[in-house]
Amino acid sequence: MRSRTTLAVASAATFLALVVFTSTLATMPATAAALGAGPEGQAWILSSMSIGLGVALLPAGAVADDLGRRRALVLGALVLAVGSVLCAVAPSTAVLVAGRIVAGIGAAALVASSLGLIGHAFPAGTPDAPRASGIWGASLGGGIAIGPLLATGSERLAGWTAEYWIEAILAVGLAVWARLAVEESKAEHPRPVDLPGVALLAVGIALLLTGLVEARTGALRPAPVALVVGGLLVLVAWLLVERRRAAPMIDPTLFRSPRFLAMMLAALATGMGIIATTSVLLSVAERGLRASALAAAAVLLAWSVTSVVTSLLARRLPASISGRLQMAVALLVVAGGQALLLGATPESSVWRFVPGLFVAGIASGVLNAAFGREAVASVPAGRAAMGSGANNTARYVGSAIGTTVVAVIATRPGLAPGPTGLLGGFDDAVVVAGVFSLLGAIAVFACRGAGPEQASLKDGQGSARRDPGPSQAAVP
């Protein structure tokens, strides 16, 4: 019974994080009008939460494993609530962006610690583990589905700030529920927090993502180029530092594991491909096809709700089909779904996107379930939250890269004016995003060699790390 409660809380945490992530997509016109946000301000509003997520996911996962996954989830929910309140009372675009970054940091703790809790309650290789990872994967799609609908509905009733008040209340409720109902768990031999690693990774990803956001209003300007190059240099420094530390935040040797590498590549391709595509699709549906915000959000359900269903059904796939093969084939199917999105004209109905989103949703559900399973099984025992943080970092960094590329291509100078030019630019952008999915499938398929179900990682004293059983879990 306790493990089921843990699964429910962890899935609810991930669901809420994705609701907050996607809700602003549906209310951007009203938000921009209220705050006087121009194109650059809107780009920052849309991307600010990705910065918070990208910066905090991997550190949050490592800290959750070492200091307590329930503690990290509760703290993340409270940080998310603070960020949501800041957004709700924001008098300017800058304050809203700051609130979204804070909310992203809180959401990172929710997503990373939730999969760590599930990995502890349903260890890899046990009969219930596939079902648990499928439910967690379904919570991703569920959050994506409900976020735009919640925002659209609440905006009609009480204005664009209503969604943030609702999210703050839900976050506080989640914190109380987790504190009362979930048993604490952590790695059996907690290590000291890798402060140099946390700082370098946070700075590197922050610079990289900031540069990508700035690139949306001019990719070759000195500022975005300097930020991206600076971010990459800091990330290289991070890798060098991690290789020399006795207890790194993430062991760089994990990238030599085909299973771990396949998971990371699939997550990166998912962000650069279908997530980037759907992030821009809502705006294209409203401005290019003149659909209402509610209709655009409803069309997106063809992708998100379908992914929920297939995440739950993915556990029925034969055990002989490896996670690597599932992810590779799923990315191929995603690319096929993206191809079906092409060809819209100003006279088209917004519902013409449904077949492509449906096909992509089937494959996305398989991907989400596989991510939940591989994030636990491809890392050392007791490091599931770190595995989740690594997987989701790749996904959201990929999303930031892909969304920037898609937005720049779809709105580049020289296109025909009005809806015709926007839809033509969107077609070009979807082709590029589809290539990202296709290349991801090829790269994942090339990662042959599954490796052990659970890798062995040495701590600072050279002893293998293992997650404690329920009776050994530390309770503060």
* Buried-exposed string 53-83: b where 16+ CB fall within 10 A, e elsewhere: bbbbbbbbbbbbbbbbbbbbbbbbbbbbbbb
Average pLDDT in the 25-44 region? Answer: 82
Question: How confident is residue 178, by pLDDT bands cut at 50, 70 and 90?
Answer: very high
Residue indicated by tokens 């849309």: 46
Nearest to 204 by CA among 406, 65, 397: 397
Sign of the torsion formed by the C-alpha atoms of 162, 308, 440 and 265 = positive
For 85-90, what is the mean pLDDT? 94
Q: How much is the average pLDDT of 161-170?
A: 94
Residue 439 scores a pLDDT above 90: yes
Q: Which residues, 6+ apart, have CB-to-CB distance to 29 below 8 Å?
A: 286, 293
For 424, the token pair is 């033509």
In angstroms, the CA 90 to CA 101 distance is 13
Instruction: Determine what percent of the chain is predicted with pLDDT higher than 90.
Output: 31
Output the pLDDT for position 219.
65
Residue 77 pLDDT greater than 80, yes or no: yes
- pLDDT band, residue 468 (cuts 50/70/90): very low
**What string of DSSP letters covers 295-334?**
HHHHHHHHHHHHHHHHHHHGGGS-TTS-HHHHHHHHHHHH
- For position 75, what pLDDT does the model report? 95
Q: Is the pLDDT of residue 58 over 90?
A: no
Strand ranges, E, within 317-453 = none
pLDDT for 264-287, tens place per residue? 999 999 989 998 898 888 888 888
The model's confidence at residue 402, banded by pLDDT at 50, 70 and 90, is: confident
Average of per-residue pLDDT across 23-38: 84
| Confidence (pLDDT) at 22 | 84
H-helix or E-strand containing 27?
Answer: none
* Contact indicator for 186, 65 with CB cutoff of 8 Å: yes
Instruction: Give per-residue pLDDT as tens, 372-395.
Output: 778 777 777 666 666 777 777 788
Cα–Cα distance, 281 to 112 (Å, whole number): 27
Q: Which two tokens stand for residue 99?
A: 């609130």
| DSSP secondary structure string for all residues of 98-136 | HHHHHHHHHHHHHHHHHHHHHHHHS-TTSTTHHHHHHHH
* Position 464 pLDDT exceeds 80: no
Mean pLDDT of all residues in 111-125: 81
In sequence order, which residues have a C-beta less than 8 Å from that of residue 45 and are 6 or more positions away? Answer: 24, 28, 31, 32, 37, 93, 96, 97, 100
Distance CA 129, CA 134 (A): 9
**Element (DSSP H or E) covering residue 50:** helix 39-67
- Percent of the chain clearing pLDDT 70 (strictly above): 89
The pLDDT of residue 188 is 67
List 458's β-bridge partners, or say none: 464
287-329: pLDDT as tens digits = 888 888 788 888 888 998 898 888 888 878 777 788 888 999 9
Q: How confident is the model at residue 476 (pLDDT cuts 50, 70, 90)?
A: very low
- CB count, 10 Å around CB of 47? 26
* pLDDT higher than 60, residue 457: no
Q: Alpha-carbon Rg of the chain, whole angstroms?
A: 21
Q: Of 362, 354, 323, which Cα lies nearest the Cα of 447?
A: 323
Task: Pick the most confident of 108-117, 346-355, 368-377.
Answer: 346-355
